[in-house]
Amino acid sequence: MPDRIWYKLVPYSDEKCTTFVPNMIHTHHRNHHHHHHRYLIIIIIIIIIVISSSSSSSSSSSSSSSSSSSSSSSSSSSSSSSSLSHHHHHHHHRYLIIIIIIIIIIIIIIIIIIIIITSIINTPMIIIVVIFTNTTIIITIKTNIIISIIMIVMVITKVFL
């Protein structure tokens, strides 16, 4: 993407993941008090990633609940694979699905908050490269709300799968 020429990536370390926060080289911002909002968005995205990475430890059942169309077949296959190892895992599986649904609802709420923030603030682009458990996920949020929705959904499904 050609937009990355205009950004100098500065490492911003968190206890869970290392984040590269883009610094504008071409400062075509007329006002500089957007930095608080940008770091607020970055903190919200880190919260999303921490939530989704904590739920990605149970990746098989979360992928079954994320795709609602094939949820019954994949949940039956994951429950059969868990019943191969243990026969008394059905109660845990039910609680796990409930926990994952709650996590997905929380993530959707956070996405709505991010979309509201990005629609209020006219940031040209925010590129965050998050590295955790040998996965590199690039989150790009543009002023176009539809693109940001698509990118966040893609990132969440990439984390879940």
Domain count, the chain: 1
pLDDT score of 98: 83
**Residues in the chain where the model's pLDDT stays below 70:** 1-40, 49-91, 115-151, 159-161
Nearest to 56 by CA among 139, 149, 150, 137: 137
pLDDT score of 67: 38
pLDDT score of 122: 53
pLDDT score of 110: 78
pLDDT score of 106: 83
pLDDT score of 150: 67
In terms of C-beta distances under 8 Å and separation of at least 24 residues, what long-range contacts does 98-104 make, across chains too?
99/55, 100/55, 100/58, 100/61, 100/62, 100/65, 101/65, 103/51, 103/52, 103/55, 103/62, 104/65, 104/66
Note if the pTM is more than 0.85.
no
Q: Can you give the residue range of the structural domain that contains 78?
A: 2-160
